[in-house]
Structure formats: structure tokens, C-alpha cells
A and B are shown apart, each in its own frame.
Chain A
Amino acid sequence: MDLVRNLPAISILICMFAAIISSGLKGKAARVLNTVVILTVLAFSLVSFVWCISLGASVVYVMGIFPAPWGNELRFGVLETGMALFFSIIMLLSIWGGRHKMKDEVATDKEYLYYVFINLLFSSLLALVYTNDLFTAYVFVEINTISACGIIVIRENGRTIEAGVRYMIMSLLGSGLLLLGIMMTYDITGHLLMSNIQEAVRNIVDSGQPLIPLVVTIALLTTGLAIKSALFPFHSWLPDAYGYSTVSSAAILSSLVSKGYIFLLIKIFYRVIGFDIVYSSRLLNVLFVFGLIAMISGSMSAIRENDIRRMIAFSSIAQIGYIYMGFGMGTKAGMVASIFHILSHAATKSMLFVSAIGLTDVSKGSRHFVDLTGSAHRNRIAGIGFLVGSLSMVGIPMFSGFISKLQFMDAAVSLSYKKMLPALIVLGISTILNAIYFMKTVLRIYMPADKLGANRAQADVVTNTVPAARIGINGIVEEKDRLVFPQEKLYGTVIILFVILNIALGVCSNTVLDWIRAGLGMFS
């Protein structure tokens, strides 16, 4: 059984190999290779996850012959392998969910590049999850940033290129701050390996040396990763990047890329610095405040939005706010709630993006609310997906979003007055705001559409001279715009799998929470 130790390293390497080989393949072969790789990684992660649970401790894996502080090292326990397993499931479903749109969104001769980006992005996510070395983390943050830019701009229209450039500038700013932080860490501790840094940091704190460099280092690392994961004041790049890129890209960016950075931040808090030292530096209070502001402002922007994909994107800002609020609580319960919310949000947001495309597909490609009226009747399966996603986001029992909100409430109650009241009040307000914009959308997509547009159909005389799909905003419902399950087998299956995943997270939450607690215990 000892050979299982190799699986995480092998899964990172096969993703990188797949990316390299894909760059010489044609679109279809690259697509098949990508699916095979993700499925393999999924199986590997599952095996190592089960192994880690039975082992009950985290494992150190040396990359090469040189041990800890000199060579590279991976370290994984229940939380890391579980996260990798979860990431591969979401990655697979996001890719499959957007596959039928691929030919419309990406030029055929550039399709292989998309899979190159996806494979490298996946390898970098795995490396961020598994690595035990700050500099390795930085290298893979770089790969992650560039490939994320790639999957945004590959759609090649004005808006995505603009969004890609904006994303790149903000993201590189974040990388720069992260690199500064890593440099200063090395300067004051002389180590790059996470566990060794923690020892050195403890020595610094115990020996009573000035703490200013340490605090600034923590601030730089946190700010860098907060910019990259779109915490409130740094979120301006997000709506365009998520709103205009391809479906798969939007799902992957919102549910995986930002979560990879957040996971790295958790790692830095627990393994590099030590959570008590981070807590005593009071930086968590800043995260707490910005998290609260994000929860309100993200939802307010989402309510004002008139475009369904941008609305979902704005909702992401609010959800990222929840996660940072959980960090800001500074307790283990808050951290567990945040990690559960990472899972819940990733599962739900990718489902919403994938369902939204099903709804816009049957509304002549328009993403505006007026045209989406009644679209859930035309594409039932996407309607179900959107409904479940909305219920989960709002926090209805049975779905995953309820558990994360419950956990946040639970964690908030045990805090001191000053933090408990704002946390509870903002959670309440944010839930109501969530309900406003999601219910508005759900009501609209389930409105009977037959009455609408019927009179306008008369006025439209020249329908036959124009290709049906390009008529644009006329509000006519034609029979061929109706999508039934057999036409989109893969898409329907993906939505059903998403729904099952969401309900599984909501119903079996105790098991998942136990794993998260066990994983956090192995973390430091």
C-alpha cells in the first residue's frame, strides 16, 4: 500500500505531461486526452483520500533524493487529498457542461490550446493543494494566473480580451505582492519549506525580536492572495472575466481558480505562520471587515444587474466575502465553516454557470432577463439546475448552502460581542439579498412564456429570410428552440450530477465536516 504515496506527485506530473502533449494534438484528440487525464486524477485522488483517512496522519513526500529543507516536498493529509478529489470532480463536470458550446465559443483550430490551458491549470491547482514549499507554490501560482488568462481570452471577442487584460493586471499585482511576501519570509527565516518556516517564526516571536517585518510579511502574503481571489475592494476584474468567458471557463474560474488561492492562504495561515500568530497580528480583523462589506456590496450589485451571467458573477463576490468572514472570526469553527463554504460554493456556482448557459441557449443566446422569461419551460433540465443552485445559494435546508450558513452562524455565536453582532446581522441581510435576486430570476425563468411575445410574432414578417438563430430579440418561442433531454445527453447528465453532488453535500454534511476537522488537525 505504500505505493499510494506516489499518487499525488504522479497526478501533478501527468497533468503537466498531458498539457505538453496536447500542444501537438488536434482538437478532438486533445479533448479526449483531457477527459482521460481528469478521470485518472480523480481516481488517484480518491484512492489517496481513502488511504489518508485510514492512515490518520499527513504524509510527507520528498520530490527527489534530497530531504526537507533542501529539496522540494509535497505534504498531504485528509484535507489536501479530499480537496484534490473535489477539484477533479468539479473540473470534470465544468468541462463536460460547457462542451456543447465549445464550437461556438472557441475557434476550431485553437481548441487544442484550450485543453493545454485546462491541463496546466489543473496541474497548478493540484500543486497548490499538495505542495509544502512556498516557492513551489509561487511557481504554480504563476502557471495558474497565465493559464486562467488564457481560458478567458480564448473566446476572442472584444469584451473577453478587455476582461482578460484587466484580470491579468490585477492578478499580476497580487502575484507581485505574494512574491514580495515570500522574499521577506525567506529573509527573516532562511527557509522556503512551510514547516521549517513555522519553527523559525516561532523562534522570532519567542526571542522578542521586532515583529514589524513579520506582520508586514503576513500582510503582503494575505493581500496578494486576497487580490487574486477577488476579495471586496479588489473585485473589479471579476464580473467581466466570469461574465464573458466561455461557460467552462466561467465555471472553472469561479469555483476552482479562486478557491485554489484561498486554500493556499489557509495553508499559509496554518502551516507557514501558525494560526495563533496570525490571530495575534490582528490582520484577521481586516479580513473580517472586508468580508462583511463584500457580502453586502456583491449582493447589491447582483440585484442591480440585468445580465444573468454577470449576476452570478457578482454573487461570487458576496460568497468570497463569506469565506473571508469565516477566516476573520479567528476560531477553528469559523475556519471549518469557511472550508465547507469553499466546497459548497464551488459545487453550486459551477452548476449555476452551466445551467445559465442552457437557459440562454433557448432564448436566442440573449442573456438579458427580459428574454429569459419562461426559458425553464423550454429547457427543463437547465431550469432544474438553476433552481437547485438558487435554493442552495439562498440557504434552503437539504442543499449544501444551508449547511455552510448554519456553520457560519454556529461559529459566530461563540465569538465576542464585537464580532458576533455584525457577523449575525450581515449574514441575515445577505441571505435576504441573495433571496431577492435569485428568486427574481427563478420566478422569471418559470413564468409561462406563451402569452409573451405572441402578439409580436405577427409583426415579424420576414422570419424566413433570416436564419432562425439570428433573429435576436423578438421573443418568439419556436418549437425547435425547445430543448429536450435526448438532444443534450451529456449536458443533462452533468446537471443531474451537479444536483446530486449538491444534495450529497447538504445531506451528508456531518461526514464532510468531520473530514474537514480531521484534515485541519493534520494541517499544522
Chain B
Amino acid sequence: MTQDEINEMLKASDRSVLVNDEKPTKKSGFLSWYEGENDILYSNLRMKRSYEDHIKKEPTIKEHNIEEAKVRYAVYDTANNMELKAFGWVYKVSAILFCVALALALVFTVSYLPKVGDPDTPANSGVVSQRYIEKGLEETGAVNIVSGIILTYRAFDTFGETNVLFIATCCVMCMLMIDEKLLHRKEDTDSKYEPKKDDILQQTAKVLCPIIFVFGIYIILNGQISPGGGFSGGAVMGAGLILFVSAFGFETTQKFFNETVYKIAKITALCMYGLIGSYFYITGANGIANHIPLGIAGHILSGGIILPIDIAVGIEVACTMYAFYALFRRGGL
């Protein structure tokens, strides 16, 4: 056997490497043989541990915690360090005292605030709420004042709020999204214990899912004339999707709702909202009349920009709800 062959064999076992080292060792021949550094047959070869062992990987959270606990134990002797125990005790007590004090201070402040339901408070009698109530229908075309406020008067805030949902999904994707190849391997182990093809669940879902979807669409489309709108309707539709996926599994769902569809739906919805919003803000700010008809109050096609924005928000919320479930459950869409 040549040195290279031996090295390759040793490398395969991932333990150590033989090195051709002419330098005499400090230890005597026997001692180094005894300690396994020297090989009898190839006496000028010495065993060296492979560097692979020494390469430090960045520790995982668990390793890091264990390490930290060990260090803490060694440094502070946590088991019987009275000072540390006393500090922990004082810390807990002072934390509780601080929270109680903060709560009391806030309650004390609330007693000075205007009473709830009092018609004379600044919030209830101010110019802001008065105009919303008196002119809201006329200016926004929406019977539902809440929709009128959030989607017309304060449309920019709501665009920001929709982007909060979008960025939240992106964050979850960043942490939980797994590569598609790994995902298939993982599915063998992870969801093995989940009941599949549960008859009761499937039959119920068959009946319920269409109703839930239709109800969600109804809430979204009626946002301007009755309580509801994009956020609530989207949540209902998202819940319907989650029910469907838990009854029929991801493979069936992926036939009509996979990552591509998700991305297209999300981007289209958000861009639609953004474009309508931008048109509204910029024409309004420059004193140009916009060409969005307000319609007849109480009809489905009314409320100016409210209806299209509600649809966009509904799609985005439904996508977000489903994406959260899918990412937490499976690690992919």
C-alpha cells in the first residue's frame, strides 16, 4: 500500500491522515507508537488527526444554549451560588413590582381620560368624526362608513397595512421555506402520523368549502354596502383553503394553488391596489379630477375605488392566511 492509498482509506473513514514527516519526534519511538502516532510498517509516517475535525461550524441554537449553560455553570456555579440566586429572586420580584406599578399608573391615567360613550369627547365631537359621519356617504359612495374611511379617506394607511401582511409572509418564507427536493424527502417522516383520507373530514369539506368560498366572495364584494370588506372576506377565504388542504392534502391543492399561482395572485393584487391608490393620490394631490365613478350608493358597483381595492386586499389576505398555514405545516407552498 502506498501512502496515498492509505490516506484515501483513512479519509474515507474521516478520522485522520498519514503524513510523510521526516522530522524526528520529540517523543521516543516506543512512546509515540504506543500513543498511536507512529506506524510500525511505515516508520517515517506519522498519524495526524484530520483538520476536518477542527473546522468550527457555527453552532446551532441548541448547541449554543448548551454551551452557554455549561459556561454559566463553570463560571458562576449556578447550582449553589447564593449571590446569583438572590439576584434572580430580586430580579423576579422587581420585575413583578415594575409591571404592577406600570399597570397602576396606566389605570390611574385612564381615569383622567374622557369617558367612553360621552358625546362631548374630542374624539366623538371633533371635526374629523363629524365629517366622516355626515359627508362620508356623499364623498365616498359607501354605505359602510368603516370601508369608506379605511379605503378612501385613509387609503394610504391601508396600503401600508396590506404591505405589513405581505412583508410578514416574506419573513416567514425566509425562515421556514425549504428547498423543494428536501421537502419530498421530509414528507416521508414529518406528516406520516397525520390522518390521511379521513372520510368524515373529506365529506364535510366537500360540502363546506364551496359555501365558505362563496361566503368569502360575498363579504369581499359587499364591503362597501354592509359590514365586511377585503380583510374579513379574505380571512374567510383563507380559512376555506386551509380546510380544503387539511382534508385533501397538499398534492391535490397544488393542482390549482401552487407557488406560481400564489406569486401571481399576490403580486397582481398588490400591484392593482398600488396602481389604483397611486392614481387616486396623485390626481387628488394635483387637483386633477379622477375618473372613478362613485356609482349609486347601495349597489354592488358603487363606492369608487373601494370595490377594486377590497378585491385586491381580499386576495392578498387569503394568500397570506394560506401561506402561513402551508409554511408552518409543510415548509413550502
How far apart are B272's CB and chain A's nearest CB, in angstroms?
10
Binds B, one of A33-41, A133-141, A342-350, A444-452: A133-141
The answer to whether A63 touches B281 (Cβ under 8 A) is yes
On B, residues with C-beta under 8 Å from A are 17, 19, 21, 48, 50-52, 54-56, 58-61, 63-64, 105-106, 108-109, 112-114, 121-129, 131-132, 139, 152-157, 159-161, 163-164, 166-168, 170-171, 173-175, 177, 179, 263-264, 266-267, 270-271, 274, 277-278, 280-286, 290
Task: Decide if A191 is an interface residue (CB 8 Å cutoff).
Answer: yes
Q: In the complex, which of the residues B167, B271, B285 contacts A64, with contact meaning CB atoms closer than 8 Å?
A: B285
The answer to whether B105 touches A20 (Cβ under 8 A) is no
The answer to whether A189 touches B161 (Cβ under 8 A) is no
Q: Beyond A63-B285, A153-B174, A190-B128, is A470–B160 a contact (Cβ under 8 Å)?
A: no
On A, residues with C-beta under 8 Å from B are 3, 5-6, 9-10, 13, 16-17, 19-21, 23-24, 61-66, 69-72, 109-110, 113, 116-117, 120, 127, 133, 135-136, 139-140, 142-143, 146-147, 149-150, 153-154, 156-159, 161-162, 180, 184, 186-192, 200, 210, 212-213, 216, 461-462, 465-466, 470-472
Of chain A, the residue at the smallest CB distance from B289 is A65
The answer to whether B284 touches A17 (Cβ under 8 A) is no
The answer to whether A466 touches B285 (Cβ under 8 A) is no
The answer to whether A216 touches B153 (Cβ under 8 A) is no
The answer to whether A117 touches B160 (Cβ under 8 A) is no
Cα–Cα distance between A19 and B132 once the two chains are bound (Å): 33
How far apart are B55's CB and chain A's nearest CB, in angstroms?
5
Q: In the complex, which of the residues A21, A61, A110, A184 contacts B271, with contact meaning CB atoms closer than 8 Å?
A: A21
Cα–Cα distance between A21 and B271 once the two chains are bound (Å): 8
The answer to whether B112 touches A213 (Cβ under 8 A) is yes
Q: Beyond A6-B285, A190-B128, is A143–B154 a contact (Cβ under 8 Å)?
A: no
Q: In the complex, which of the residues B152, B179, B263 contacts A24, with contact meaning CB atoms closer than 8 Å?
A: B263
How far apart are B171's CB and chain A's nearest CB, in angstroms?
5
Q: Which residues of chain B are near A72, meaning CB under 8 Å?
A: 154-157
Of chain A, the residue at the smallest CB distance from B267 is A24
Of chain B, the residue at the smallest CB distance from A5 is B285
Interface-central residue, A19, A24, A120, A190, by most chain B CB under 10 Å: A190
Q: Which residues of chain B are near A465, meaning CB under 8 Å?
A: 17, 50-51
The answer to whether A462 touches B19 (Cβ under 8 A) is yes
Q: Which residues of chain A are near B175, meaning CB under 8 Å?
A: 153, 156, 161
The answer to whether A162 touches B123 (Cβ under 8 A) is no
The answer to whether B122 touches A188 (Cβ under 8 A) is yes
Q: Which residues of chain A are near B21, meaning CB under 8 Å?
A: 461
- 29 A-B residue pairs with Cβ-Cβ distance under 8 Å, sorted by A, are A3-B286, A21-B271, A63-B156, A64-B152, A64-B284, A65-B284, A66-B284, A71-B154, A113-B170, A117-B170, A117-B171, A136-B160, A146-B168, A150-B170, A150-B171, A153-B174, A153-B175, A157-B58, A158-B58, A187-B113, A189-B126, A190-B129, A192-B128, A200-B122, A210-B112, A212-B109, A461-B21, A462-B48, A466-B55
The answer to whether B122 touches A116 (Cβ under 8 A) is no
Cα–Cα distance between A64 and B287 once the two chains are bound (Å): 9
How far apart are B155's CB and chain A's nearest CB, in angstroms?
6
The answer to whether B153 touches A71 (Cβ under 8 A) is yes
Q: Which residues of chain B are near A17, meaning CB under 8 Å?
A: 271, 274
The answer to whether B121 touches A162 (Cβ under 8 A) is no
The answer to whether A20 touches B132 (Cβ under 8 A) is no
The answer to whether B167 touches A120 (Cβ under 8 A) is yes
Interface-central residue, A21, A127, A136, A187, by most chain B CB under 10 Å: A187
